[in-house]
Structure 1
Amino acid sequence: MLDKGAVEEVYRKLAEAMPGRTKGAKGPKGQPDAFRSCISCMLSAQSLDRNTAAATKALFKLATTPEAMLALDDEVIAKAIKPCGLYNNKTKNIRKFCTALIEEHDGVVPDTRAGLMSLPGIGRKCADIVMSFTFGKDVIAVDTHVHRVCNRIGLTEAKTAEKTAQQLEERSPEWAMRDGHFWLIQFGKRVCRARIPKCDICVVSELCETGPIERGD
């Protein structure tokens, strides 16, 4: 992994090259509140963005609170969220999530990682995404792009997204925590892409632990 000085330099270069947190950044999939952000994050597991969008749109036409969600039959929820796949398991998780939210938190979504992860269906990635986007907390949420970039560059050395998130929290400078997720995900989509990374225009190529990757085209 990169040493502390190199980690700082990577973040400085990314901060100069990437726009960071854009004005008006919204919760997961553009949802307007913490409850719907959590549900949409749960639905996004192993689902394309367009399918998640279709599922959330259909579901939130039926219910937008945990109480209203629990009033729906499982068959109704499953039919609404079918586009996002794994709809039977996700229906069970939604019901468990809503029940725990009401019984343990009076229906109010907690704004801490521990509180969010105590709820059924909410893992580290989802918790961090909701904390960052919905509650404006300074955390680096790790999705597929962030996980790939961090381990390719050498910011982290982890096999899972959760381990990557833990190492980032330990190794990232405090000043980079607010926008770090945005710099890394933008960099992963624009430059350090999965299949054909643009190493020739990479601003951190001299620091990258992997080094230039030959283009496959």
Structure 2
Amino acid sequence: MNAAKRREIFLRLQAANPHPTTELEYRTPFELLVAVVLSAQATDVSVNAATRQLYPVANTPQALLQLGEEKLRGYIQRIGLYKTKARHVIQLCRILLEQHGGEVPQTREALEALPGVGRKTANVILNTAFGQPTIAVDTHIFRVSNRIGLAPGKDVTEVEKKLLKFVPDEFKHDAHHWLILHGRYVCQARKPKCGQCIIESLCEYKEKVFE
């Protein structure tokens, strides 16, 4: 795929959705951090349902520490791996208070040092909370990047590196959101909706599905 085609893909995605953002509900960087940690192997819908109940009760590191791991489990028990996630959230709250003055750090190294935070989560926080031009690669973005020929790679790290190389600078801040939404609602895993796709004519997938 050449640079002109890549640019046109993002121009079309931008025209359709000029101000994309995460579907996770949050008001502060800390609320986003907790939501992203909870969202691993879970849907945004299930996370939002939990945090709508949790955040009015506890939405700061201090408040969550006071709530405690056992009570936190009660709020998130419908989310997959909730016991492990509750432990990670309580641990990261303690670290934020002890090492970062209760604030979410704005560097990859500090974020990845937090329990339950890997490279993908760190990228989401850096991009969505702090406006940095990072691109978090989840299963949707990995699939779309490979399927349409945008940034093919054998693993998420290779795809991320290629996206950072190939996506024009002006689109880097929003690329993650456009691609994840495209993968979630249009370029779906089992049956892509090629007939509804605004970038179908630019896509290099050889097994397109039209109904």
The residue type paired with residue 14 of structure 1 is L
User: Within 5 A, what are the aligned runs for 1:52-201?
Assistant: 52-201=47-196
CA RMSD, Structure 1 to Structure 2 (Å): 2.5
TM-score normalised to structure 1 length: 0.82
SS of equivalent residue, structure 1 residue 32: coil
**Distance (Å, rounded) in 2 between the aligned partners of 1:71 and 1:82:** 18
TM-score (ref. length: structure 2) = 0.84
Moved more, 185-194 or 171-180: 185-194
From the superposition, tell whether residues 198 and 88 of structure 1 become closer, same or farther in structure 2 (CA, over 3 Å). Answer: closer
| Letter of the structure 2 residue corresponding to residue 8 of structure 1 | R
1:14 matched residue in structure 2 = 13
Q: Kindly tell me: are residues 37 and 185 of structure 1, through their superposed partners in 2, closer, same or farther at Cα, counting changes over 3 Å? A: same
Q: C-alpha offsets along residues 138-177 of structure 1, whole Å, 9 cap, x if unaligned?
A: 3333333322211111122234434422321122121121
Compared with structure 1, are the counterparts of its residues 146 and 42 closer, same or farther at alpha carbon in structure 2 (3 Å cutoff)?
same
Cα 1:99–1:178 shift into 2, 3 Å: same
Matches of 1:191 and 1:49 in 2, distance apart? 17
Q: Indicate how the Cα distance of structure 1 residues 179 and 51 shifts in structure 2: closer, same or farther if over 3 A, else same.
A: closer
Q: Which one-letter code corresponds to 2:193 in the other structure?
A: K
The runs of 5 or more residues in structure 1 that have no matched partner are: none
Is the alpha carbon distance of 1:80 and 1:172 closer, same or farther for their aligned partners in structure 2, counting shifts above 3 Å? Answer: same
Note closer, same or farther for the CA distance 1:89–1:186 as it changes in structure 2 (3 Å cut): closer
Higher relative contact order, chain-length normalized (CA < 8 Å, sep 6+):
1
Query: In 2, distance between residues paired with 1:5 and 1:153?
Result: 15
Q: List runs of 5+ in structure 2 lacking aligned partners.
A: none
**Count of aligned pairs between the two proteins:** 211
Q: Runs of 4+ in structure 1 displaced over 6 angstroms?
A: none
Listed one character per residue, the Cα deviations across residues 91-115 of structure 1 (whole Å, up to 9, x for unaligned) are: 1111221122122212110123333
3-state DSSP of counterpart to 1:111: coil
Q: Distance in 2 between matches of 1:166 and 1:101?
A: 29
Displacement, 1:190?
4.4
**Separation in 2 of the partners of 1:20 and 1:115?**
31
SS of the residue aligned with 1:84?
A: coil
